């Protein structure tokens, strides 16, 4: 760190020189001037960390100098130097933005502490600014990638909730990165030293699920030849990630609810309770509220899981992340396959941007992987991509009216024939949409 630069403004020669000499022994870069006018010139010409300013100066008063300095360089810490008679002015100066004041003569210790404090605060402020900037510039958070506003909010959210012990319910379409988000929460939590154990609740048949989650005692059932520890036990001290939690059976929902309420569980066939010592993060691509309404998901479990909810945006809602993600995957797969492909052509990028990505980031990842594998040139070209964007979906011979009809029908269908929402997406008003529906003879059951 560079030594602090200090400017002393005092019209008494002996005072400013003795302070200058004292501070120089501390290794500071010190200048001293006799008037406010000279001080302003100095501040215009150079940067100072600290300015010692006598309140009573001949010519411009210390208060006037203070107010002008605040205009020229608000970052400089101004310490007013005052005598017993003018403490009230010094206090007023602090209201006007002075950092502190010192009563002449000052204790050497006090002077040292004050300068150290100022320099520490400045270093802290610089660090905060750097972190803020870094935050602004970040395009990655653990394994999640995105520079869009939507993803920045996700990163902020993860950082906020990670240190808590609360259950988090992550929702998002398939391929949006729910497990990566769960891992990021785990990594930033107090349990990061423990294991991250994931269970895909949708992939296990019900009869295996109980044993998989809770473990079993030897002899608990016909095939239980050995005692086995379940995922809840394996996640001790860490995080248990229950993926596709909307897929678990009604029976397992009851078991899971009981564990979450009692914070303990039993192995299948076991009689000794085991304390739950893991943070639970659940994820779903299903609409759990809808499932609760349909009675296929227990309401009490839903509320138990939905303590903190994080919704991951689909890729089509954060298309500005596509170039960043595509480049990331390109670099990864090019390295893995040892192929000399290092860029995506403008036309291919246009295709990527126009496509709606129903499979989200995972689909993009697969698309880039395929493009790298089949690609024959230095860059990825549209023909390498296994996608068809809406613009290329219609055959070349299709008329404009036919394209418009098909597009309106698709938007209406995707929005359950919500006219207001569809009109907004199409960029037309409702009456125009009604007239087009009538003209093209579109019907809800088509």
Partner 1 sequence: MSPAEEPHILLSPLGRIDEHILPSLRSAISQVYGLPTQIASLLQGVDFAYSPERRQYHSTSILKELAATLTPAQIKVLGICSVDLFIPILTHVFGEAELNGRASLISTYRLNEDLPAQSWHTVYLDRVVKEGLHELGHTFNLKHCPDPRCIMHYCRHIADVDHKERSLCRYCRIFVADALQELGLAERLGPAARPNHTDMLHRDHGVPDKGSGESA
Residues found near partner 1 in the complex (CB under 8 A): 1-3, 12, 14-15, 18-19, 21-22, 24-27, 104-109, 111-113, 115-116, 119
**Cα(29)–Cα(26) distance, integer angstroms:** 9
CB-CB contact of 391 with 354 (8 Å): yes
Minimal distance, residue 77 CB to partner 1, in Å = 14
Minimal distance, residue 14 CB to partner 1, in Å = 5
Q: Which is nearer to partner 1, 17 or 156 (CB)?
A: 17
Minimal distance, residue 27 CB to partner 1, in Å = 3
Minimal distance, residue 120 CB to partner 1, in Å = 9
Minimal distance, residue 8 CB to partner 1, in Å = 9
**Cα(28)–Cα(44) distance, integer angstroms:** 20
Q: Which is nearer to partner 1, 25 or 295 (CB)?
A: 25
Beta bridge partners of 33: 9
Reduce the secondary structure of 53-76 to three states and give it as a string.
EECCCCCCCHHHHHHHHHHHCCCC
Q: Which is nearer to partner 1, 20 or 186 (CB)?
A: 20
Minimal distance, residue 25 CB to partner 1, in Å = 6
Q: Which is nearer to partner 1, 112 or 187 (CB)?
A: 112
Q: Which is nearer to partner 1, 20 or 231 (CB)?
A: 20
Q: Which is nearer to partner 1, 20 or 178 (CB)?
A: 20
Minimal distance, residue 35 CB to partner 1, in Å = 18
Question: By CB neighbour count within 10 A (0-12 exposed, 13-18 middle, 19+ buried), where does 63 fall?
Answer: buried
**Cα(312)–Cα(121) distance, integer angstroms:** 38
**Cα(376)–Cα(384) distance, integer angstroms:** 9
Minimal distance, residue 69 CB to partner 1, in Å = 21
The angle subtended at Cα 100 by Cα 120 and Cα 35, nearest 5°, is 110
Minimal distance, residue 91 CB to partner 1, in Å = 21
**Cα(177)–Cα(157) distance, integer angstroms:** 15
**For residue 355, which of 343, 344, 367 has the smallest C-alpha distance?**
367
Q: Which is nearer to partner 1, 105 or 237 (CB)?
A: 105
Half-sphere exposure of 66 (CA within 13 A, CB side): 27
> What's the order of all strands across the beta sheet hosting 168-171?
196-200, 239-243, 279-284, 168-171, 308-311
Minimal distance, residue 18 CB to partner 1, in Å = 4
First-residue to last-residue Cα distance in the chain: 71
* Residues sharing a CB contact under 8 Å with residue 374, sequence separation 6 or more, in sequence order: 384
Q: Which is nearer to partner 1, 130 or 434 (CB)?
A: 130
Q: Which is nearer to partner 1, 10 or 243 (CB)?
A: 10
- Token readout for 378 is 């230095």
**Cα(306)–Cα(167) distance, integer angstroms:** 7
Q: Which is nearer to partner 1, 15 or 403 (CB)?
A: 15
Residue with tokens 């068809």: 388
User: Largest alpha-carbon pair distance within the chain?
Assistant: 99
């Amino acid at each position: 760190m560079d030594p602090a630069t200090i400017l002393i403004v005092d019209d008494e020669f002996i005072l400013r020189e003795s302070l200058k000499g004292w501070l120089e022994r501390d290794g500071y870069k010190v200048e001293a001037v006799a008037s406010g006018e000279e001080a302003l010139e100095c501040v215009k010409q150079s940067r100072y960390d600290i300015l010692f300013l006598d309140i009573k100066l001949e010519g411009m008063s210390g208060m006037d100098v203070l107010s002008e300095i605040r205009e020229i360089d608000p970052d400089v810490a101004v310490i007013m130097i005052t005598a017993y008679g003018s403490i009230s002015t010094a206090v007023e100066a602090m209201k006007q933005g002075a950092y502190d004041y010192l009563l002449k003569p000052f204790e050497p210790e006090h002077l040292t502490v004050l300068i150290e404090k100022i320099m520490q605060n400045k270093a802290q402020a610089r660090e905060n600014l750097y972190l803020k900037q870094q935050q602004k510039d970040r395009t990655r958070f653990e394994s999640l990638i995105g520079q869009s506003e939507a993803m920045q909010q996700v990163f902020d959210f993860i950082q906020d909730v990670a240190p808590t012990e609360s259950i988090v319910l992550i929702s998002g379409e398939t391929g949006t990165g729910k497990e990566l988000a769960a891992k990021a929460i785990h990594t930033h939590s107090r349990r990061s030293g423990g294991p991250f154990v994931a269970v895909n609740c949708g992939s296990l048949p019900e009869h295996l699920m109980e044993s998989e989650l809770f473990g079993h005692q030897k002899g608990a059932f016909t095939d239980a030849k050995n005692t086995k520890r379940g995922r809840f036990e394996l996640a001790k001290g860490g995080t248990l990630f229950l993926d596709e939690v909307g897929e678990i059976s009604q029976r397992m929902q009851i078991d899971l609810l009981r564990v979450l309420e009692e914070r303990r569980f039993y192995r299948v066939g076991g009689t000794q309770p085991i304390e739950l010592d893991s943070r639970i993060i659940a994820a779903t691509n299903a609409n759990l509220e809808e499932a609760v309404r349909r009675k296929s998901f227990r309401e009490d479990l839903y509320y138990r899981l939905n303590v903190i909810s994080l919704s991951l945006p689909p890729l089509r809602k954060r298309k500005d992340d596509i170039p960043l993600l595509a480049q990331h995957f390109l670099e990864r797969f090019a390295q893995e396959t040892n192929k000399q492909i290092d860029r995506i052509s403008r036309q291919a990028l246009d295709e990527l941007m126009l496509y709606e990505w129903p499979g989200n980031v995972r689909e993009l990842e697969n698309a880039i992987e395929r493009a790298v594998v089949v690609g024959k040139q230095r860059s990825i070209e549209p023909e390498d991509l296994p996608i068809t964007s809406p613009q290329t979906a219609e055959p070349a011979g299709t008329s404009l009216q036919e394209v418009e009809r098909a597009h309106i029908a698709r938007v209406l269908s995707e929005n359950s024939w919500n006219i207001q929402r569809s009109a907004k997406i199409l960029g037309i008003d409702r009456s125009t949409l009604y007239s087009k529906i009538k003209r093209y003879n579109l019907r809800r059951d088509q």
